[in-house]
Amino acid sequence: MLKKNKFSMKHLRKFNEGKEPDQSEIYDLSKDYLAYLIDDDYSCDVQTGYEWSHTTDKIKSKLATRIILQRYKNSSRKYASKNGFLWNNVKDHFIAFIHLLSKDYNIDFFEFIWIGLQPGSAVPGLRSTKRSLQQVLDDDNCDFELLERVTVVISKKE
């Protein structure tokens, strides 16, 4: 018969507990602050995981949360195909939401994924570029063609 140890697993803390953004809180905020866009067939997904970066001498990782905004052709999102959208049509709502999050979280970067021609090719494909929060607020080179999705990577302020 096994004797129950007073130091059971329920007392062990996760290694990264408290370092990751609260995914359910962010999801609830996105439903409230982006309701207008969600009603217009946009979806806002919240995913937490590791964000990797590297330089020539070091590879770093940290827990981060991705907030992904994309649009669907119809409201049956489960089987709907994605439909592009223009940044100018969503930026006012999305930036207000990100501004709210910036009080408790670091806004690491925005990643814009759009449908465009690859350099030296006549075949359209998905392209991406990253922008800082300040570049997005200044509307610095954020006028893309049809966007596939916008991803914002945030991390917990320490």
Question: Which pLDDT score is estimated for 8?
Answer: 45
Question: Which pLDDT score is estimated for 51?
Answer: 67
Average pLDDT for residues 25-35, to the nearest whole number?
89
Average pLDDT for residues 37-53, to the nearest whole number?
83
Domain ranges for the chain: 17-156
CB atoms within 10 A of CB 89: 14
Question: Which pLDDT score is estimated for 73?
Answer: 60
Residue 21 vs residues 39, 43, 65: alpha-carbon distances, Å: 26, 20, 6
Provide the whole-model pTM.
0.73
Band of the pLDDT at 12, cuts 50, 70, 90? very low
Percent of the chain with pLDDT over 70: 71
Instruction: Let me know: does 109 contact 137? Beta carbons within 8 Å.
Output: no
Average pLDDT for residues 94-113, to the nearest whole number?
90
